[in-house]
Structure 1
Amino acid sequence: MSIQKTVSSSLNEKAGISQPEITNLDAIEQIKKSRKKQPSAKELIDGILNGNTIALSRAITLIESTNTDHQEKANEVINGCLPHANQSIRIGITGVPGVGKSTFIEAFGKHLTSLGKKVAVLAVDPSSTISHGSILGDKTRMEELVKDSNAFIRPSASGETLGGVARKTRETITLCEACGFDIILIETVGVGQSETAVHSMVDFFLLLKIAGAGDELQGIKRGIMEMADAVVINKADGDNIKKANLAKMEFDRALHLFPKKKSGWIPTASTCSSLNKEGIDSVWQTISDYVELVHSNHYFEEKRKEQNLFWMMETIDEQLKKHFYNQPKIIELLESTKNEVQDNAISPFAAAKILLDNYFKNKE
């Protein structure tokens, strides 16, 4: 039998076609038609509203896509889900690598699901600045939580976006809320500006620390402390219990030195052992107390409104920047301008003005 006939026979078999005389191209076309078509925006919306996590995953993939057609469909899905969102508590969790974020989130998530909560974990994995690749290993690190029917874990590559937070994390929150998840946990990469970005999209901001790492005083000086609604010293187990308690006292004193928060909340410090599942219930009680306070003084709604405006402005900035750099004239002019700036033939500010003037001139 010839190679062509062999290939045809194999393709025919996969497509469920019995005619031996069918050509390769015909068989390929039949296979394509036999595959399940991509769900429409309405089907995705209906699936999400019915709590279907497969539809949720597909919709998130859609909003993370840079394809123009996908973006239009994603916007339709987001708009359809928006009236059913905003019913969750959004919790940002940050800490330097090695502090035990994944272990804490798994223990915390399991505690929440045991209380009947539905928990979505949006874990942002750091992307390499060289290869732009990402490990996306959170599902392997949270072996117990990933098998929980009331939990949903979505790792996303941070890419090169604001502070390392996945570009569409804000929209993903909306979809998860519409899918019925009442607790949204957002884990940051813990490398700097990501904390600022996450703080602008959550209700409660939790800072994880470890004792004995030699950075307690440095941590007190950092601006992130001003954003934290609670500091939790993790790994308070074994020989580390005494150090953890000393660190708690140190952070307690430091937290009282910062200006009073608009929410009226006084940040607290506590210890926990994610490994031994100790102190996890106290963390949830702290968050519950905070939520009760900010609902009673209406700060919760005020903050949500401010965040919505913030992300509208961020989206405008992002789209303008994208449009600017995708203009053929700008792409062409940018290369020559770069060389002139590097050779000190023109100042960076004058070069920027030339590029912007050219951009706006073409928009007239």
Structure 2
Amino acid sequence: MTDTEKLADQLLAQERRALARAITLVESGRADHREAAQALLDRVAGHGKQAIRIGLSGTPGVGKSTFIEAFGMMLTGMGLRVAVLAVDPSSARSGGSILGDKTRMERLSREPGAFIRPSPSQTHLGGVARRTREAVTLCEAAGFNVVLIETVGVGQSETVVSEMCDLFLLLLAPAGGDELQGVKRGIMEIADLILVNKADGELKSAATRTCSDYSGALRLLRKRPQDPEGFPKAMMVSALQDEGLKAAWDEMNALIDWRRENGHFDARREAQARYWFGEEVKRGLMAQLETPEARALMEEGAEDVAAGRTVPSVAAQSVLDRLSVSKD
């Protein structure tokens, strides 16, 4: 039995250390590691295990980590196994990330039924790490019932996370200024639930107004075929006082059940699989530009463009034609 086969068997046997090693393997950029990762993913494919995948984003300071910890503790208290894949922004200058989510979720990190894995976003756009989708597959293979995907932060590019989750939650804080204008329409359109956090103490009245504003705004959006009547909706929660979390979970289950019964759940999973197949093909094509031959042609074309001997579009087509001929 190869190391990859052994790791796959340990993963399917729900060994936590095997899951950590497997995610490290799929996140590696080394060619031999990528080959081993693909063999691992192929071996655990078709295991029949399926988790509820929940994407979560929110404005800075909204309390995403506090919410995830409180929500995760509630789910593990119900006997569910919860995996948290948290994506931390990487520095554009040093390339480093803090990866402090386990520190911020101290109670949940000690819970036997929970698994927390922070990953750097590196240069990948979309609020998630490049291999987050594969990490979700590994968490499902390891028998987790719920996978929470925490994105870098609210923004227009965060919509990529909708291509790897079944539900998308948008967390907002009350009294946060002109949020209706500040939060982009793109992320509003993919949200299944908008949760106004910190609905406690002096902020409760502000949370009520914010929730009402968003409820009105959601009614103005175009109706989506994958939503029953009343969705998407806005709700109030308090992660600090564990209020509204059970009601939010009930709404998530109601939406998932409706989508399963009406064929939207499986259709969405199939569409996501097609999307990521296309993305992998694009990445493979981009990787071909990293060969020494391609780099030499790119440098030659760049010099011609810089000197004004040709225009970028013509130079680019010339490089592509010459690369195509060299492969033939």
Under TM normalisation by the shorter chain, which class is it? over 0.9
2:51 counterpart residue number: 88
1:307 counterpart residue number: 272
Could you tell me which of 55, 58, 65 is aligned with 2:21? 58
2:310 counterpart residue number: 346
How many equivalent pairs are there? 325
Deviation, structure 1 residue 73? 1.2
Instruction: Please give the root-mean-square deviation of Cα atoms over the aligned residues, in Å.
Output: 1.5
Compare 279-288 and 345-354 and name the one that shifted more: 345-354
Output the CA distance in 1 between the equivalents of 2:42 and 2:220. Answer: 43
Q: Give CA deviations for 1:25-76 in whole Å, capped at 9, x if unaligned.
A: xxxxxxxxxxxxxx80111111111110101111111111111111111111
User: Where does structure 2 lack aligned partners over 5 or more consecutive residues?
Assistant: none
Compare 302-311 and 72-81 and name the one that shifted more: 72-81
CA shift in 2, pair 1:350/1:104, >3 Å: same
Could you tell me which of 272, 280, 302 is aligned with 2:245? 280
2:326 counterpart residue number: 362
Equivalent AA in structure 1 for residue 264 of structure 2 = Y
Could you tell me which of 210, 220, 229 is aligned with 1:247? 210
What stretches of structure 1 move > 6 A for 4+ residues in a row? Answer: none
Could you tell me which of 97, 101, 108 is aligned with 1:134? 97
User: What SS class does the counterpart of residue 129 from structure 1 fall into?
Assistant: coil
CA shift in 2, pair 1:351/1:332, >3 Å: same
Output the CA distance in 1 between the equivalents of 2:253 and 2:192. Answer: 12
Output the CA distance in 2 between the equivalents of 1:127 and 1:268. Answer: 32
Output the CA distance in 2 between the equivalents of 1:340 and 1:215. Answer: 48
Deviation, structure 1 residue 346? 2.8
User: Where does structure 1 lack aligned partners over 5 or more consecutive residues?
Assistant: 1-38
Q: Retained in 2: the 8 A contact 1:219–1:225? A: no
TM-score between both structures, scaled by the size of structure 2: 0.95
1:184 counterpart residue number: 147
Equivalent AA in structure 2 for residue 156 of structure 1 = S
User: What SS class does the counterpart of residue 106 from structure 2 fall into?
Assistant: coil
CA shift in 2, pair 1:160/1:293, >3 Å: same
Output the CA distance in 2 between the equivalents of 1:277 and 1:199. Answer: 26
Compare 162-171 and 233-242 and name the one that shifted more: 162-171
User: What SS class does the counterpart of residue 91 from structure 1 fall into?
Assistant: strand
Equivalent AA in structure 2 for residue 276 of structure 1 = Q
2:292 counterpart residue number: 328
- Structure of higher RCO (CA pairs closer than 8 Å, 6+ residues apart): 2
Output the CA distance in 2 between the equivalents of 1:88 and 1:111. Answer: 17
TM-score between both structures, scaled by the size of structure 1: 0.86
User: What SS class does the counterpart of residue 144 from structure 1 fall into?
Assistant: helix
State yes or no: 1:262 paired with 2:207: no
User: What SS class does the counterpart of residue 220 from structure 2 fall into?
Assistant: coil
